[in-house]
Structure 1
Amino acid sequence: MQKSDNRHAIVTVAICFLIAVIEGLDIQAAGIAAAGIREHFGLDSSQLGVFFSAGILGLLPGALLGGRVADRIGRKKVLIFSTAVFAIFTLCTVWVNSFSSLLVVRFLAGAGLGAAMPILITLAAEAVTPQNRGRAVGLMYCGMPVGAAILSLIATTEFGSHWKNVFYLGGLLPLIVIPLMIYLLPESKEYLKTQNQSADAKAASQGSFKDLFNSKNLFRTMCIWVSYFFTLMVVYIMLSWLPSLFTELGFTRKEGATAQFYFMVSATIGTIILGMLTDRWKKAYVIILMYGGILAGLIALNASSSLAQMYMAAALVGAFVIGCQGVLYAFGSMVYPTEVRGTGVGVGSAVGRVGAMLGPVVAGQLLVSGFGAAGVISAAIPCIIISAVFMLLLVRRIEQ
């Protein structure tokens, strides 16, 4: 039985990791393909900004609905469907011939990806015992920076220099993974357990959106929402603007791209280590470590003068800010009961995506207003402090 459970967990986390790698590829894809898309469609900077936003906007309805439907009809079915939607509309990106249709397919691809993420978190968490959920979600979610780093390297090759190839890669990879999901991915045992109850008990066990706001879950939901919102705001400021912040500080574009690579590589390591610590340490210690690490990295970015110091600062921020996102997803899987776990993580992810959309916009406005890179980095610090406070309040409540 133990051997079967271990195989179940390994297969589940491995397949979810592959989907997270694909998400990482997509996160980098728009930025890497931006110059080619601008030229192909004749876009100005404003239209290019709308193109960036379309994919992120699609994540919102996807995250809201994906987890909710997965709580109703099963994790595996919804994950396969959402991955297929993402694959199809990512491929459509290279075939459309107008700006409006480009926005539509990016929005729909984002919706597919947005629906997949809360299910990945839920499946990884439910594949293992509660004592190992932080590690499982961390191992799964480190696929995101791995995918982003891989595409950053591909972008330096002849293949990656053609913008259509980036989307061919992003669309074909999930089509390869889908058969693996169909034949190898097991359904969540915790979900199946709820389905094996009697009809009355099953009806009672199926949660709804309003259950996130009952007396047991309201405080947890509010803390998760605030932390997701402000943390993802900072995450996407770094993901979107780090190379540009380097050029603002007087470094070259190539040096900025190198910093982004270091950021992603260290993010992979940080996500795994923080996920493991979540299971082994007191939760409050993990929160203090990861948010303290982000603050140290942001301060280092502002204070560093040499290129080597800047690379180290970028790596420090990457390790903790992306790792922090993985830990927050793990916390979401821990604080909600099985019947509303997908819904809770999905809605929290959607709230986080609002922060993800606003972060790059706020950073852009600060740069336009003359605050410079130092102003953008400084503006991220209060967001991190607010997130840390609400996560510590949440931990204090659940550990009482």
Structure 2
Amino acid sequence: MIETHSSPGTPGQQFKTLILCFIVALLEGLDLQAAGIAAGGIGKEFQLLQPQIGAMFSAGLLGLLPSALLGGWLSDRIGRKKVLVVSVLIFGVFSLATTQVWDFHSLLAARFLTGLGLGAALPILIAMSSEAAQPRHRSIAVSITYAGVPLGGAAAAVLGMVNFGGDWRGLFYVGGVVPIAIAVLLMLMLPESQAYQLRQQQAAATHRPVATEGVSGLFTGGMWKSTLLLWLASFFVLTVLYMLLNWLPSLMQGKGFSREDSSLVSLLFNFGGAAGSLMVGRLMDSSARVKTAVCIYLGMLLSLAGLGWAQGLPMMLLAGLGAGFCATGRQLVLYAMAPALYPTSIRGTGVGASIMVGRLGAIGGPLIAGQVLAAGLGVAGVMAASGPGIVVAAFAALTLVCAPQKQTAY
């Protein structure tokens, strides 16, 4: 397939796109972390067992599965902006609905429906930020956008520390009202992707329908190898990341730390994630791509060991900071590469499919952690169970990073 290279737009358009995508990512991170921070209060109010809390986490992640692929697929056909606005409205409305649940089953339904909106947003954010940047700055553009996710998680941790709203519902009020307001801002200010618009104009000028390969296009030519490696790495990276995002506060309290200390570890985990996103994104645009990936995956293994076996608060804070840096950095390695693997016609679909496969791991991670804890193996057991997945993800990611880089048309 031959595509004409498009301009990413004026500097003003690029700036608006990155800022607005960052804000949406911030809200996504707040909602994803809110469930973990609110888990203690939710469990107490509804008298939930640990496996039921794990099911609550996984219900939200289950909603992310179909919408990640569907959102990316729709954005390739009807436009990035339209689908993003609708997805933000959906996760805002059902985050508000979470505050009104009355039992375990209504809680699962609210978290599942919130996940539908969250899942559709992320592949579009990655595609739009990548398409808005100059070629030499695409990884850092994606990293700036994605840094909003851990920073949103940090904001949720701060709100949890100050007990915003008086109980666990306060976090979900913020996660509901603000996205609805931001959706209006997106409608008024967000420019459509220049790459998407150019493809539509080319189709109109030649009187030919826009190519719609869909998921099958991810396996044409030599792309099938890259697609499968990306999926393998995404699966295991998100297994560990969401295990930590959802269970870290409860794991720390299980080791005897106070609620405030646990929130502080979560806060540093998310600050480390933001730093990891920005630093890894910058390095992925340089010649140090391979060294960066190796260091990130080794660092993750060390950080998990620290979380599992450290006893004092200072060492736990350091391990939490390192785990956040490396966990988010590992994901950013994949998100920085994913848009460049595919042409404009299937970019949203390709990124969405990799995120969907990753979410399968994300669903399993919290459930595995719940079962390990229920078996009495403790925090160290949860961390030990994460190790093999990190090794497999490292192999797949390094194979992709070391492969000859192709310049995919934007």
Query: In which range does the TM-score fall when normalised by the shorter chain?
Result: over 0.9
The answer as to 2:272 corresponding to 1:266 is yes
Q: CA deviation at 1:97?
A: 3.9
Q: 2:106 aligns with which of 101, 104, 124?
A: 101
Residue matched to 1:357 = 363
Unaligned runs of 5+ in 2: 1-6
Q: 2:378 aligns with which of 355, 367, 372?
A: 372
SS in 1 for 2:10: helix
Letter of the aligned partner of 2:32 in structure 1?
I
Q: Report if aligned partners of 2:138, 2:336 keep a CA contact under 8 Å in 1.
A: yes
SS in 1 for 2:100: coil
Q: CA deviation at 1:96?
A: 4.2
**Quick one: distance in 1 between partners of 2:269 and 2:343?**
34
The answer as to 2:326 corresponding to 1:326 is no
Q: 1:212 aligns with which of 211, 218, 223?
A: 218
Letter of the aligned partner of 1:324 in structure 2?
R
When the two structures are aligned, how many residues end up with a matched partner?
400
Residue matched to 1:181 = 186
Residue matched to 1:167 = 172
The answer as to 2:253 corresponding to 1:243 is no
Q: Report if aligned partners of 1:23, 1:147 keep a CA contact under 8 Å in 2.
A: yes
Q: 2:314 aligns with which of 305, 308, 312?
A: 308
Residue matched to 2:4 = none
Residue matched to 2:60 = 55
Q: Alignment RMSD, CA only? A: 2.3
Letter of the aligned partner of 2:346 in structure 1?
V
Deviations 1:1-29 (A, max 9, x none): x9962211111111011111111111122
Deviations 1:116-161 (A, max 9, x none): 1100010010001222111011111111111111111111225343
Q: Structure 2 matches for 1:330-345, cutoff 5 A?
A: 330-345=336-351
Residue matched to 1:13 = 18
**Quick one: distance in 2 between partners of 1:4 and 1:397?**
30
SS in 1 for 2:192: coil
In structure 2, the CA distance between the partners of 1:114 and 1:249, relative to structure 1 (3 Å rule), is same
Letter of the aligned partner of 1:197 in structure 2?
Q
Deviations 1:313-364 (A, max 9, x none): 1111111111221231121112111111100110110110110111122122
**Quick one: distance in 2 between partners of 1:29 and 1:224?**
28
Q: 1:192 aligns with which of 190, 197, 201?
A: 197
Letter of the aligned partner of 1:136 in structure 2?
A
Letter of the aligned partner of 1:210 in structure 2?
S
Residue matched to 2:285 = 279
**Quick one: distance in 2 between partners of 1:275 and 1:306?**
32
**Quick one: distance in 2 between partners of 1:152 and 1:363?**
21
Deviations 1:58-112 (A, max 9, x none): 0111101000000011000000011111111222222344543332232111101
Once structures 1 and 2 are overlaid, which stretch shifts more, 235-244 or 134-143? 235-244
Percent of aligned pairs sharing the same letter: 41
SS in 1 for 2:403: helix
Q: Report if aligned partners of 1:83, 1:112 keep a CA contact under 8 Å in 2.
A: yes
Letter of the aligned partner of 2:162 in structure 1?
T
Letter of the aligned partner of 2:215 in structure 1?
F
Residue matched to 1:131 = 136
In structure 2, the CA distance between the partners of 1:94 and 1:369, relative to structure 1 (3 Å rule), is closer
**Quick one: distance in 2 between partners of 1:304 and 1:105?**
36
Deviations 1:30-80 (A, max 9, x none): 223334434555555444433322211101111010000000110000000
Unaligned runs of 5+ in 1: none
Once structures 1 and 2 are overlaid, which stretch shifts more, 366-375 or 306-315? 366-375
In structure 2, the CA distance between the partners of 1:317 and 1:33, relative to structure 1 (3 Å rule), is closer
Q: 2:72 aligns with which of 57, 63, 67?
A: 67
Q: CA deviation at 1:283?
A: 2.4
In structure 2, the CA distance between the partners of 1:154 and 1:51, relative to structure 1 (3 Å rule), is same
Q: Report if aligned partners of 1:56, 1:107 keep a CA contact under 8 Å in 2.
A: yes
**Quick one: distance in 2 between partners of 1:128 and 1:201?**
29
Letter of the aligned partner of 2:233 in structure 1?
S
Once structures 1 and 2 are overlaid, which stretch shifts more, 211-220 or 26-35? 26-35
**Quick one: distance in 2 between partners of 1:85 and 1:94?**
15
Q: Report if aligned partners of 1:155, 1:161 keep a CA contact under 8 Å in 2.
A: no
**Quick one: distance in 2 between partners of 1:299 and 1:329?**
26
Letter of the aligned partner of 1:221 in structure 2?
T
The answer as to 2:23 corresponding to 1:26 is no
Q: 1:399 aligns with which of 392, 405, 408?
A: 405
Letter of the aligned partner of 1:49 in structure 2?
G
**Quick one: distance in 2 between partners of 1:378 and 1:37?**
28
**Quick one: distance in 2 between partners of 1:303 and 1:91?**
38
Letter of the aligned partner of 2:33 in structure 1?
Q
Q: CA deviation at 1:168?
A: 1.4
SS in 1 for 2:260: helix
**Quick one: distance in 2 between partners of 1:364 and 1:40?**
19
Residue matched to 1:256 = 262
TM-score, normalization by structure 1: 0.93
**Quick one: distance in 2 between partners of 1:6 and 1:347?**
30
Letter of the aligned partner of 2:96 in structure 1?
L
Higher helix share: 1
In structure 2, the CA distance between the partners of 1:289 and 1:158, relative to structure 1 (3 Å rule), is closer
**Quick one: distance in 1 between partners of 2:45 and 2:303?**
38
The answer as to 2:322 corresponding to 1:290 is no
In structure 2, the CA distance between the partners of 1:164 and 1:114, relative to structure 1 (3 Å rule), is same
Once structures 1 and 2 are overlaid, which stretch shifts more, 113-122 or 149-158? 149-158
